[in-house]
Chains A and B, each alone.
Chain A
Amino acid sequence: MNYKLKLFILNCILLVTACGDSGPQPIQFGKDGCQFCKMTIMDPKFGAELITSKGKVFKFDDVNCLVQYMDEIKESDRSDSRLYVIDFHTQNALIDANSARYIKTAEVKSPMASGIAAFSNEIIHNEYLEKWQGDNLLWTDLVQMYSSQR
């Protein structure tokens, strides 16, 4: 394969990824900063992302930062935006925040001390729940927990 063809393919890939209805944008650990607490995101077990209806991407280092940031944005943006969290088990992978299952426990040392781990897989979630004996939570619980704090 010659150089030009490679370049062409690369361009195609870039175009497709740039235009398509993109899913979550991967968090660059060690480079991206948390929108809410301004800390550099380092721990691949934790993190969250908010993508507004206009496609603006905000990244967070811990779920409580995401929930607290949502209090600061406009009502209309809040309902339209898509939310993602990092899967504690697989790490690095962003999963839908609304359907994820959460555990809050002192065993988990998250960057902003929320102590919350997120899981996409229910079986794995239950395994960890048994191991840690933490609180079994849903997204709505988190919103209530951290929004009411302010």
Chain B
Amino acid sequence: MRNIKFKYFFTTYRFMSLLRLYAVCLFGCVSHFAYSSIIEVGSGKPFTSIISAIEKAKPHDTILVFPGTYYEGNVIINKPLHLIGLEFPILDGEKKYEVFTIVATHVTIEGFYIINTGRSSIEDKAAIKCLDAHYVTIYNNRLVNTFFGIHLSNSNHATISCNSLVSTAEHEYEYGNGIHLWKCNHARIEGNDVRGHRDGIYFEFVTSSTIVENKSSENIRYGLHFMFSHDNAYMHNVFSNNGAGVAIMYTANVTMMYNVFEKNWGSSSYGMLLKDIRDSEVRYNHFTGNTIGIYMEGTSRTVFEKNQFRNNGYAIKLMASCDDNVFNYNNFMGNTFDISTNGMTVFNTIDYNYWDKYEGYDLDRDGIGDIPYRPVSIFSMIVEQVPPAVMLWRSFLVHLMDKAEKILPVVTPENLKDNKPRIKPYDIYP
């Protein structure tokens, strides 16, 4: 019985399909080796310069660069190639040149150590620049002392992941952006570490892109900067110690989740600056130790839920030009001012938040305070008008004023209040 089955197997459809599969595989491999080759670059290898290797290479070839230091000026990649650096070969721009310029699609660059690009205020010289280059992958490179780090313009479907970009400069104008995208779509920026640039990550006219698990810190201006960039998401990033925090401007449909904004401290510094934003979501973020957690101007129809505001000067500065926003289920702890505003009318919803300054009671024990909480203190309104008045903070008079205002609101907006303040904080994990 078994024998017969075994005999028949060779003529069955299943066997034929298997054979066909092997044939395809074999042919595929052969054709792969026939049409794309590996070119080695290094001392004692067929090529000693990357430029000459690129010149000789056919589209879709792989160029393996062996360890060493390469002074090649500007390397232009004009065909689809896969460049791999072994043990981080050093490419030195000698403070004069842009290092890689990609003008072809489907290029991959991985494992390079790129240093000292030129710095010029007219041209945006970068370590890796993509011009009209789609489907580019930039993976696992180390960029040190570059003007612009990775600069993409008109390049769609790019993947920029696991790179580290560290830079310093003497003067403010000598700083370029770390990862700079202009007029791109469907980009994915993942797991990069950006330090010491003008803006860590910069988006202008970029759509349908994601920024995930990056670390952007110690940048001169913003950790992340969005301008006119719709339908993007940034999640699980850490933005710390940046000159002015993170700025999201003139943008619609942004999803901001699970990010950490911390230690953005200074006179015009924000955890997050929102200007002219619509229809966006801000959820599960942590704002810790910023001068202003969120500064909002001209923001509408945006949802702020389950965020944690801890130890900020101001948790939220809500300008009168904001409307239809929802602030629910957030934690406010240890902030000097919870919310400050500059107008009397408020068109935003603020409910079910936890406020550590809440002094009400919960007699029916449903976890919700029985009297509303007013997050805007009269003193914050005074400081809004006369900033030096902040000197009087924690003085007896200010305390008295705040208490009186809480009972009989005169100066603070009457309807800016949390009608259902929560008694216990929410668990919000990073």
Contact residues of A with B, CB < 8 Å?
Answer: 29-30, 33, 37-40, 42-45, 91, 109, 112-113
- Nearest Cβ in chain B — how far from A82, in angstroms? 24
Nearest-CB residue, chain B, relative to A34: B268
A40 and B227 form a contact (CB under 8 A): no
Footprint of A on B, CB under 8 Å? Answer: 121, 124, 172-173, 175, 182, 198, 204-205, 220-222, 227-228, 243-244, 247, 249, 268, 273, 275, 295, 297
Provide the bound-state CA to CA distance between A139 and B258, in Å.
45
A40 contacts B243, CB within 8 Å?
A: yes
Task: Please classify the interface of chain A as helix (H, G, I), strand (E, B), loop, or mixed, using the class held by over half of its residues.
Answer: loop
User: Which B residues are in CB contact (< 8 Å) with A43?
Assistant: 121, 173
Give the A-B contact count at a CB cut-off of 8 A.
45
Known: A37-B249, A91-B121. A30 touches B204 (CB 8 A): no
- Partner among B175, B220, B247 whose Cβ is within 8 Å of the Cβ of A39: B247
**Bound form: Cα–Cα A39–B297 in Å:** 13
Taking a contact as CB atoms under 8 Å apart, the answer to whether A40 and B268 are in contact is: yes
Closest to A29 in B: B172
Shortest Cβ distance from B297 into A: residue:
A38
- Closest beta carbon of chain A to B402's beta carbon, Å: 28
Q: How far is the CB of B180 from chain A (nearest CB, A)?
A: 10
Q: Nearest Cβ in chain B — how far from A25, in angstroms?
A: 17
| Contact indicator B275/A38 (Cβ below 8 Å) | yes
Q: Is the CB of A113 within 8 A of B173?
A: no
Report the minimal beta-carbon distance from B359 to chain A, rounded to whole angstroms: 34
* Nearest B-chain residue to A112, judged by Cβ: B227
Which residues from chain B contact A113 at a C-beta distance below 8 Å? 204-205, 227-228
7 shortest A-B CB distances, which residue pairs?
A30-B172, A33-B268, A29-B172, A40-B221, A44-B173, A40-B244, A42-B221
Docked complex Cα distance between A43 and B205 (Å): 19
Across the interface, name the chain B residue whose C-beta is closest to A111: B227
Flag if A42 contacts B268 (CB, 8 Å): no
B121 pairs with A44, CB closer than 8 A: yes
- Whether B198 contacts A45 by the Cβ 8 Å rule is no
Residues of A within 8 A of B268 (CB): 33, 38, 40
Taken together as a complex, chains A and B put the C-alpha atoms of A110 and B220 apart, in Å, by: 18
A30 with B220, Cβ < 8 A, contacts A44-B121, A91-B121 known? yes
Rounded to whole angstroms, the CA-CA distance of A76 and B205 in the bound complex is 37
Q: Find the B residue at minimum CB distance from A91.
A: B121
Knowing A33-B268, A37-B275, the reply to whether A42 touches B228 (Cβ < 8 A) is no
Q: Give the distance in Å from the alpha carbon of A39 to the alpha carbon of B243 in the complex.
A: 11
Residues of B within 8 A of A29 (CB): 172-173
When distances are taken between beta carbons in the complex, the residues of chain A under 8 Å from B273 are 38
Q: How far is the CA of A113 from the CA of B85 in the complex (A)?
A: 37
Q: Which of A38, A43, A112, A113 has the most CB of B within 10 A?
A: A38
Give B122's nearest chain A residue, CB to CB: A45
Q: Which residues of B contact A42 (CB under 8 A)?
A: 172-173, 175, 198, 220-221
* Docked pose: A55 CA to B227 CA in angstroms: 32
